[in-house]
Amino acid sequence: MIKVIKNGSILTMEHDHIIKGDIVIEDNIIKEIVDNYTGFSDEVIDADGSIVMPGLINCHTHLGMYNFRNTLDDLKLMDWLNKKIWPIENTMTGNDIKDATYLSCMEMIKTGTTCCADHYFSPFEGIEAIKKSKIRCLYTRCLMDSDSKGEERFNEFKELYTKEKDKSDLIKFSLSLHALYTCSPNYVKEASDYASEFNLPIHIHYMENEEEHNTVSSEAIKPLLSNKLILAHGVYIDDTNIFKGKDISIVHNPISNLALGCGIADIIKYTKDGVNVCIGTDGIGSAYTLNMFKELTFAYLLPKGIYKDPSIISAYEVLKMATINGAKALGFDNLGMIKKGYKADIIIVKLLNEPINNPLVALLTNDLEVLTTIVNGEVLMLNKELRIF
């Protein structure tokens, strides 16, 4: 099956500028980028006047939280979790999770996200929704043992992984711990061993707020450093030296971190220290939407204001966090660029404000619409019409 995206202004992400050309997709792979494709094609998508770029990669979210939108009510993280989220989560059925997960996937597809890392519970129902949506996902079952159900959760994850690990090209698995303050050292060790055995990345909330920073020792992360690690939030990481030479990514969630009063992660320092910085929305409860473009606006502007230096971060660097760095963090090979041999996860974006003097900056700051979303070569949305239900 050959598809061609014609006449677009292509941001391949190999470079920091736009090229013109046609993208030829064969099945799920980008076959070539040529000046003017005249060969056979099953489907032609006209991208004239729009930007064609890699789909965005949301490296930390909780898809099952769809219905928690705007319930935050100006509460702090632990108050919100204790008073609102956890009591309601305790009443949610697997079907609730399935429906919420599916609606979250639709919101991502509509707003240009083609790949995400989920972190929640009721995984057998959740994964059904993910598969149905046809989005790419690093999936899991969130683990913690701060109550008596730690082993039950772990067994559920093992069952999920054993059953599902080879079933879909689109879904890979992480082993996900809620946080170091909800997991005992033994549980962390068990997780690390399992992840090593099956070569799974570990996805964990880490140093999200001052309270965690004050109570969790920076030593506690060390047993996990031999694993591939995805650290969500990372607002308060004092020392990134211990990460040197390791496969560690920090997921920046700027909107959630502001909304919950956690603070602002210093992504400039982390990047300078050689850490792979990528972007996530967090769940809808604290991010309000799953629109990654909104996160990118904050990721682009906050460092300029904090450092009082507009040159501290470029549009290309921020777009890289949401594409190339995201693919690296989640362990998906050949993803995050529009390049021969890469997976065809592609979006077409219409910038709504004229003039567009700098398309990369415009993608981060101007009003825009995602017109078309393609995952693994399959068109999930075309000209704002979802193709899947």
| Burial category of 23 from C-beta neighbours within 10 Å (exposed 0-12, middle 13-18, buried 19 and up) | buried
With a CB cutoff of 8 Å and minimum separation 6, the contacts of 323 are 13, 53, 54, 55, 56, 57, 336, 337
Task: Give 208-255 as a 3 state SS string.
Answer: CCHHHHHHCCCCCCHHHCCCCEEEEECCCCCCCHHHCCCCEEEEECHH
Looking at residues 169 to 188 of the shown chain, list those that interact with a second copy (rule: CB under 8 A). none
Q: Scan residues 193-232 and list those touching a second copy (CB under 8 A).
A: 209-210
Complex with a second copy: residue 317 or 345, whichever CB lies closer: 317
Q: How many residues does this entry show for the chain?
A: 389
User: Closest by alpha carbon to 205, among 165, 238, 237, 246?
Assistant: 237
188 vs 255 by CB, closer to a second copy = 255
Tell me how far, at minimum, the Cβ of 367 lies from a second copy, in Å. 6
Q: Contact region for a second copy (CB under 8 A) — 27-35, 162-170, 286-294, 328-336?
A: 286-294
Q: Say whether residue 349 binds a second copy (CB under 8 A).
A: no
CB of 169 to a second copy, least distance (A): 30
Query: Contact between 107 and a second copy (CB under 8 A)?
Result: yes
Quickly tell me which residue has 């020792």 as its tokens: 217
Q: Cα–Cα distance between 31 and 325 in angstroms, integer?
A: 22
If one asks whether residue 91 binds a second copy (CB under 8 A), the answer comes out as: no
- Is 36 in a helix, a strand, or coil? coil
CA 380 – CA 389 distance, rounded (Å): 10
In whole angstroms, the minimum distance from the beta carbon of 308 to a second copy comes to 5
| Strand 142-143, strand 171-173: pairing | unpaired
Using CB under 8 A as the binding rule, whether residue 305 contacts a second copy is answered as yes
Stretch that binds a second copy, among 137-145, 149-157, 217-225, 262-270 (CB under 8 A): 262-270
Applying CB under 8 A, does 168 fall inside the site for a second copy?
Answer: no
| Segment contacting a second copy by CB under 8 A, of 160-168, 179-187, 189-197, 361-369 | 361-369
Among 168, 218, 314, 334, binds a second copy (CB under 8 A): 314
Per-residue contact track with a second copy, 35 to 74, x per CB under 8 A? Answer: --------------------------------x-xxxxxx
Nearest approach, Cβ of residue 379 and a second copy (Å) = 22
Measure the CA–CA gap between 260 and 79, rounded to whole angstroms: 10
Shortest distance, CB of residue 100 to a second copy, whole angstroms?
A: 10
Burial of 56 (0-12, 13-18, 19+ CB in 10 A): buried
How near is the Cβ of 361 to a second copy at its closest, in Å?
A: 5
DSSP 65: G
Cα angle 373, 380, 230; round to 5 = 65
Residue 240 binds a second copy (CB under 8 A): no
E-strand ranges in 62-111 read none
Binds a second copy by CB under 8 A, chosen from 291, 325, 372, 376: 291
| Of residues 10 and 315, the one with the C-beta less far from a second copy | 315
* 318 contacts 18 by C-beta, under 8 angstroms: no
Contact between 365 and a second copy by CB under 8 A: the answer reads yes
In this chain, which of 271, 297, 372, 373 binds a second copy, going by CB under 8 A? 297
88 binds a second copy (CB under 8 A): no
DSSP assignment string, 311-332: GGS-HHHHHHHTTHHHHHHHT-
| Binding footprint of a second copy, residue count (CB under 8 A) | 52
Residue 63: name the closest of 114, 100, 113, 115 by CA. Answer: 100
Closest to a second copy by CB, 28 vs 366, is 366
* Residue ranges that bind a second copy, judged by CB under 8 A: 67, 69-76, 103, 107, 111, 209-210, 255, 257-264, 288-289, 291, 294, 297-298, 301-302, 304-312, 314, 353-358, 361-362, 365-367
